[in-house]
Structure formats: C-alpha cells, structure tokens
Structure 1
Amino acid sequence: MADALTADPRSLSAKRPGAIILARHGEPALSRDVVLTAVGYREFWAKYEAGGLRPGQAPPAALMDQIAAAGAVISSVRTRSVESAVALCRGRDFVRDEMFVEAPLPPPNWPGFVKLAPRTWGFLARFWWWFFDHHEGGETRRQAEARADQAASRIEALAADGRDVVVLAHGFFNFMVGRALRRRGWKMTANQGWKYWSTRRYERP
C-alpha cells in the first residue's frame, strides 16, 4: 500500500501511445506526361500498380530519422512502396502488408474521343468510386473503408507500447486510414499534403 501511495502518479497511468506517421511512397518511374482514353488509363494504372520508383531519388532525411526512431515500420506490398521502405530503412527490417495497398481506381466508361492526363483520370476515377460506387466488380468504397478501419486498428495496437509507427503506403488509402484514426480519437498534428514522400502525423491527445 505504501508503495502505491509514494509512487510517481505517471507510472500508475496508462502509457501514452506512440505517434502514427502515414507516409506516401516516392515518385514512381512511370511518366504521367501522356494523354489517354479511359481504356488507356486502365492500362496505365495496371502498369503503375506493378511498377517501382524513378531512379536517383533522395528520400527526405527527416522521414529517414523518423523511421530510425520508430518501433515498427509497415509497407504496402506494392513495389513502389516496398522500394520506398528499402530506401528509407537503411537495412532495418520492415513488414510488408497487403492490407495497406491503394484503393482501386477504375475510370468512368467514357467514349474513346475523351483523352485526358493520368492525373485528371485519377481524380475522376476516385470521384466516381467514392460518390457513385463505381467499382467494376473490384473493391467498393464500403469495403475499402472497412479495410481502412482494420488497418487503423492494427497500427493503433502497435503504437500502444509508446513507440512510433511508420506506414509507407499510398496517398488516398492513407487518407482513409487517417479518417479511421480520427474517429478513434487520434489528432492529426502535422500534414505535408499529397506529394511523394509526404507524411501525416497522428497523436493521441
């Protein structure tokens, strides 16, 4: 009883969880300097999903330091994410997890005379998928949201011991995982936007 009365109150409370850093992969090798039909964009996206990083990139030093200090590092199984993790981890182990792959991007079925840049097709495909449930037999928004919630639960458990967790994955699915974390009470404390190698940091208040 005396020990309990004289102990530092902070040692009796639950340990504060570590931060969760959701990072986007580096720049892919596949050029976006093209214009495509809807059919062409489907082929482009398939190549994008299978491809790796553009050679010669220098990962941000700040992100490398965050990974060096983290208790756990997770990568999507897509090549561009795995290669990003290899470049950032500098020999340390990381986990490859298919749960963190990007949400699908089937474009709307517009006629062949409509030709757009991949970035524009990506925006339209995401809009159609998000608001009109255009999935063409693939993962639906509801299914992806359930996957994002499961992913949030997994990394929340890893952060419970007080060590940071870094996830190297994809722009939109990271956004969805971030929404799931906020629903669980996490607060986004830093946001570098949508660019390659960018991060979003979440902490428990």
Structure 2
Amino acid sequence: MADALTADPPKTAAARPGSIVLARHGEPDIARDVMLNARGYEEYWGRYEQLGIRPGQTPPPELLEQAAHADVIISSVRRRSIESTQALVGEREVARNPMFVEAPLPAPKFPAALKMSPKVWGFTARFWWWFFNHHAGQETRVQAEARADQAADLIIELAEQGQNVVVMAHGFFNFMIGRSLRKRGWRLTANQGWKYWSTRRFERS
C-alpha cells in the first residue's frame, strides 16, 4: 500500500476528463444502541476514529464496478476507510492520504445529565461546528473548507489527465469536497445519499 500520492503524472490535460467518485466507508465496528452525555460522546467519537469496519461486509456491486474501472484509488488514513478499501480492491495499490480524513465532531458542553444517542450527538455536534464555530481547539470549519478545496484540486488534477478517480473517505467531508468540486465546474451526475458504502459521482464535459 502507498502512503501518499507520490507519482508525478504528466501535467497536460486529457481530451476528456475522467470521472470522480466519492465513496463513504463501510459500517464501523461500534455499537450505536447507547445513550451518552457530552463527555461520553467525546470518548465514543475517539473510539470511532480508531476502529475499523464490521467484519463480513461486502461493497455493493456498483461500487465494485466503479473501482474496477478506476485508474486511481485514494483512501483516507482512518482504519475504517483503509479496511473498506481493502474489501473493495484487495491488495491493489491504493494511495492513502490524511487530507481526506473526516472533519471533527467536538461535542457541545451540554449538562452531564443530558444523554442522547450517538446519531443525535453526531448531528448536534456537526450543527454546532458548522453554524456556531464550536471546534474545541480542533480543526475549524474554515480550516476544513480550505482542506476540502485542496482535496478537490488534487483529484481534479488527476481526473483532468483522463484518469477515473475513486476516493474512499467519510460522509461529511465527502460532502465538503463535493461542494468544492461543484464550485470548480464539476457536475453531480449520480447520488446515492449518505449511507455506508454510498457514492457520489462527479463529471465534467
């Protein structure tokens, strides 16, 4: 496995750009039927960031086909993305790049007596991070948007050489990369939503 994109491909643009597919990783191997306060969610998210995916998962046929036709496959460096990519392409060479990790989810400092499910905490933490700049010393929205722009520029450069690109990363940061792609003239041509293993395909004529 490669740790980063190290090749120096030709800089000339292809007659027709390749496609870009942003895929979300498989289902993580962590329980969700728990109720947590803010401190508990911080610990939960810390474990989530370290864990892989539930054993026995198989990528959907459409994603397998997209990967088979991809010239470049990029994975986030998080374990859940790495294991999802291995399930997708086996021992095929993959570029792992920390630029594609998920945006942070710091929990708001709500009273300890308030307990919510991980799903509700995730939505709440993202809302506060996005709209109220609650970052708790972690990456801010502005910083994450700049990172998403850099990620978009990287994969656009590859696609403009005629290469089909598949990125195995994370739900919300894929959304942010998608916004950057659209700002740069790329069209969303297929959208499977945000479930695990879902994909969003971008093309430019």
Which bin holds the TM-score, normalised by the shorter protein? over 0.9
Q: How do residues 20-39 of structure 1 correspond to structure 2 at under 5 angstroms?
A: 20-39=20-39
CA contact (8 A) 2:14 2:160 kept: no
The equivalent residue for 2:6 is none
**Does 2:140 match 1:118?**
no
Shift of 1:90: 2.4
Q: TM-score, normalised by structure 2?
A: 0.92
For 1:178, the equivalent position in structure 2 comes to: 178
Bigger mean CA deviation after superposition, 45-54 or 82-91: 82-91
Q: Deviations over 1:137-191 (max 9, x none)?
A: 1100000000000000000011112121000000000000000000000000000
SS in 1 for 2:136: coil
Residues 113, 87 of structure 1: CA spacing in aligned structure 2 closer, same or farther, 3 A cutoff? same
1:11-38 deviation per Cα after TM superposition (whole angstroms, max 9, x unaligned): xx95111010000000000011101000
Number of residue pairs matched?
193
Matched residue SS, 1:21 = strand
Structure 1 runs, 4 residues or longer, greater than 4 Å off: none
Q: Tell me which residue corresponds to 2:89.
A: 89
In the alignment, the residues of structure 2 paired with residue 110 and residue 93 of structure 1 have an alpha-carbon distance, to the nearest angstrom, of 44
Partner of 1:203: 203
* Distance in 1 of aligned mates of 2:91 and 2:100: 21
User: Letter of the aligned partner of 2:148 in structure 1?
Assistant: A
Q: What does residue range 30-179 of structure 1 map to in structure 2 within 5 Å?
A: 30-179=30-179
Q: d(CA) in 2 for partners of 1:71 and 1:100?
A: 18
Q: In structure 1, the residue corresponding to 2:200 is in which secondary structure?
A: strand
Name the larger-Rg structure: 1
SS, match of residue 105 in structure 1: coil
Q: Could you say what secondary structure the match of 1:158 adopts? A: helix
Percent identity between the two aligned chains = 64
* Alignment match, 1:8: none
Partner SS, residue 150 of structure 2: helix
Query: Counterpart amino acid of 2:68?
Result: A
The structure with more helix, counted as a fraction of residues: 1
Pairwise CA distance, 1:45: 0.1
Q: Hey, what's the Cα distance between the residues in 1 that align with 2:92 and 2:69?
A: 11
Structure 1 spans left out of the alignment, 5+ residues: 1-12
Q: Aligned-pair distance for 1:68? A: 1.2
Give me the whole-angstrom Cα distance separating, in 2, the residues matched to 1:199 and 1:172.
12
Structure 1 length normalisation: TM-score? 0.92
Structure 1 vs Structure 2 CA RMSD? 1.0
Gaps of 5+ in 2: 1-12
Cα distance in 1 between the residues matched to 2:163 and 2:98:
23
8 A contact 2:26–2:84 mirrored in 1: yes
User: Take 2:140 and 2:155, find their aligned partners in 1: how far apart are those partners?
Assistant: 23
| Cα separation, 2, equivalents of 1:85 and 1:137 | 30
SS at match of 1:155: helix
Secondary structure of the equivalent of 2:22? Answer: strand
